Amino acid sequence: MKINIFIIFFFSNLIAFSQIVIEDSDFVGVGDVLYQSIDENPSSIAVGNTGLNQVWDFSSLQQNSTRELLFVSPIGTPYEVQYPNANLCMIENGFYSYYNKSISGVYAHGVGDTVFNSPALFYPLPLTYNLNVSDGPIVVIDTALTGPLLSLAIPPALVSSLSQGLANRADTALIKITNTTDFLIDASGEVIMPVGSYDALRLKSVKYISSELDVYCSDTITGLGTWVTNVPFTSIPFLNGFSNNETEYKYEWITNDASVDFLLAEMIVDSLDNIQNNVVFLNQNVNAVKEGDIDVDVSVFAQNKILNIKLNKLSNARLLIYNISGSLILDRDFTASIQIDMSNYISGNYLLNVNTKYGVFSKKLTIH
C-alpha cells in the first residue's frame, strides 16, 4: 500500500510540475495574421504571482478596440534593401517593423527607414521556466537630425536658453539611444481567456532606455557655434512626456498551443506591478469564423478562377487582399457578397481579410 501511495504521489507531482517549452516554430512566421483585442479599462485583472502551477483568470477582459498584425517576407516591402539580414516583417497600420527569427531568438532590426545600429533581442528562445537572459547595453539608434523640423522642435528662444545666450539656431542634433533588457520566465501555469484556457509561460521583461541628446547651436550673426551636451528631454516641449532615462516593465503570457496564436496577453506595468493603461490580449473572434462551421459568418469559395465571398449575416464589409510580400493589391467595400476575377493574378500565395462588424475573417489563398 505504501508503494502504491508513493507511486501515485510521485506521478501526481511529476504531472503538476511538467513544463511547456516554447520554440521558434511556435511563433508567427511569414503569411500569419495576428489579431489582438485591447481592453482599455481592465478591472479585476492582476499579474499574479511567480512560480509554478499558477492560474491567471483573464476571462473578464473586454474588447474595446482591435488591431491586426500582418507578418510577411521582407522581400518586396518598401525598406527591404535596408534589412538584408531580416527574414520577417510585421505590418501594422502601414508601419513596417523588421525582425530576424531563428532557433536562438527573435531580434528586432528596425522600424521603417530607422535601422538599429545593432539588432535588439525581442524574444530569447527557447522559452522555458526560470530562463534568465540579459541583452545589452546595445546602441539601437545613433543618428543626426538637421533641417527645418529641428528648427521647429528647438526654436531660437530655446536655443538661446540652452546655450546661455551664445547662439540662436539649432544646426544639428545627435541622438543616441541605448537599450538594456532583462528577460525572465518567472511563472508558468494556466491562463483562462475569454475564448478558452491554455498552458502558458509568463515572460517578464525590464527594459532600461538611456537617451543622450547633444545639440550643435550657432549664432546667425557671428557664425560662432557651440555644442550643448546631455540636453534634458524635459527642456524641449517637442519631447514633453519623455525622459532621458526610462524603465519599462512588461508581462507577456505565451503559449505553444497550436490552436491559437502564441501571445495570449501582454500588459505594461509600473515597478509595483500595477497595470498601466490597458491590456492587449488574444482576439475574442480568433476562432469564431471558420469555413465549415455551422454558424460561419463568411463563406469563401472559388470556381473557374472567380473568387466568391458571401456574408451569412447581412453587413457592410471591407475586403483586403495582400500578396505574400505584404503589398495590398485589392481594397474594396461591399455588402452581402462580392465576386473577384482572379485570372489576372500571378500564381502564388495571398492573404485575404474580410472585416465586418461581427469580426475579422482571414484566409490564405493559393492561385495556381
DSSP string, 305-327: TEEEEEESS--EEEEEEEETTS-
Residue 65 domain-assigned? no
**Same domain assignment for residues 260 and 315:** no
Q: Does pLDDT of 272 surpass 60?
A: yes
Average pLDDT over residues 339-359: 79
* Position 209 confidence tier, pLDDT thresholds 50, 70, 90: very high
List pLDDT tens digits, range 225-246.
999 999 999 999 888 888 999 9
Beta strands across the sheet bearing 337-341: 298-303, 306-311, 337-341
For residue 294, name the pLDDT band (cuts at 50, 70, 90).
very low
More confident of the two residues 136 and 345: 136
What is the pLDDT, as a whole number, of residue 190?
A: 96
Which tops the pLDDT comparison, 360 or 93?
A: 93
Query: Which candidate, 51, 15, 24, 16, places its Cα nearest to that of 202?
Result: 51
Q: Check whether residue 278 and residue 303 sit in a common domain.
A: no
* pLDDT interval class at 291 (50, 70, 90): very low
Confidence of residue 348 (pLDDT cuts 50, 70, 90): confident
340 and 258 assigned to the same domain: no
Q: Grid coordinates representing 323?
A: 500578396
Query: Which amino acid does the sequence have at 335?
Result: T
Ranking 26-40, 90-104, 183-197, 293-307 by mean pLDDT, the lowest is 293-307
Look at residue 82 and tell me if it is in a domain. no
Length of the chain: 368
Residues 193 and 327 in one domain: no
pLDDT over 50 at 285, yes or no? no
**What CATH number did the domain enclosing 341 receive?**
2.60.40.3080
Domain annotation covers residue 29: no
Question: For the ranges 204-213, 329-338, 351-360, which has the lowest average pLDDT?
Answer: 351-360
First to last CA, the chain: 66
The answer, yes or no, to whether residue 347 has pLDDT greater than 90, is no
Domain termination residue (choose one: 225, 258, 282): 282
Across the chain, what does the average pLDDT equal? Answer: 86
* Residue 7: domain span: 2-22+43-56+113-282
231 or 316, which is more confident: 231
Where helices occur in the chain by DSSP H, the ranges are: 2-16, 148-153, 156-162
17: pLDDT strictly greater than 70: no
Q: Strand 275-282 relative to strand 105-111: parallel, antiparallel, unpaired?
A: unpaired
Query: Do residues 240 and 331 both lie within one domain?
Result: no
pLDDT tens readout for residues 114-170 = 999 999 999 999 999 999 999 999 999 999 999 888 988 999 999 999 999 999 999
Q: Does residue 9 register a pLDDT over 50?
A: no
User: What pLDDT is stored for residue 358 in this prediction?
Assistant: 67
DSSP class of residue 22 equals B
The 10s digit of each residue's pLDDT in 182-191 is 999 999 999 9
Min mean pLDDT across 61-70, 153-162, 344-353 is at 344-353
What is d(CA 121, CA 111) in angstroms, rounded to the nearest whole number?
Answer: 14
Please indicate, yes or no, if residue 350 is contained in any of the structural domains: yes
pLDDT of 62 over the 60 cut:
yes
Q: Are residues 305 and 255 in the same domain?
A: no
Mean pLDDT of 298-311: 81
Q: Is 127 helix (H, G, I), strand (E, B) or coil?
A: strand
In a domain, 86, yes or no: no
Average pLDDT over residues 357-368: 72
How far apart are alpha carbons 209 and 242 in whole angstroms?
Answer: 11
Q: Looking at residue 34, what DSSP letter applies?
A: E
Angstrom distance (rounded) from CA 200 to CA 251 = 12
The reply to whether 200 and 238 lie within a common domain is yes
Q: How many domains does the chain have?
A: 2
d(CA 210, CA 355): 40
Q: Which of 252, 282, 312 is the last residue of a domain?
A: 282
Asked if residue 279 lies in contact with residue 42, where contact means CB atoms within 8 angstroms, the answer is yes
Say if residues 22 and 252 touch (Cβ distance below 8 Å): no
- Whole-angstrom CA distances from 133 to 124, 147, 180, 206 are 7, 40, 11, 11
Residue 288 lies in a domain: no
Cα separation of 176 and 142, whole Å? 4
Q: Would you say residue 274 lies in a domain?
A: yes
Tell me if 275 is assigned to some domain. Answer: yes
Q: Which residues pair with residue 355 across a beta bridge?
A: 318, 360
Strand partners, 92: 95
Q: Are residues 6 and 121 in the same domain?
A: yes
Same domain, 358 and 275: no
- Find which of 127-136, 282-291, 336-345 is predicted with most confidence, using mean pLDDT: 127-136
Q: From CA 20, how far away is CA 255, in angstroms rounded?
A: 8
Mean pLDDT, rounded, for 29-51? 89
Do 307 and 354 have their domain in common?
yes
Q: Does residue 10 have a pLDDT over 70? A: no
Q: 177 with 258, same domain?
A: yes
Maximal CA-CA distance, the chain: 98
Question: What share of residues in the chain are helix, strand, coil (percent, to 5)?
Answer: 10, 55, 35
Percent of the chain surpassing pLDDT 90: 56
**Residue that finishes a domain, picked among 238, 258, 282:** 282
Same domain as 336, residue 258:
no
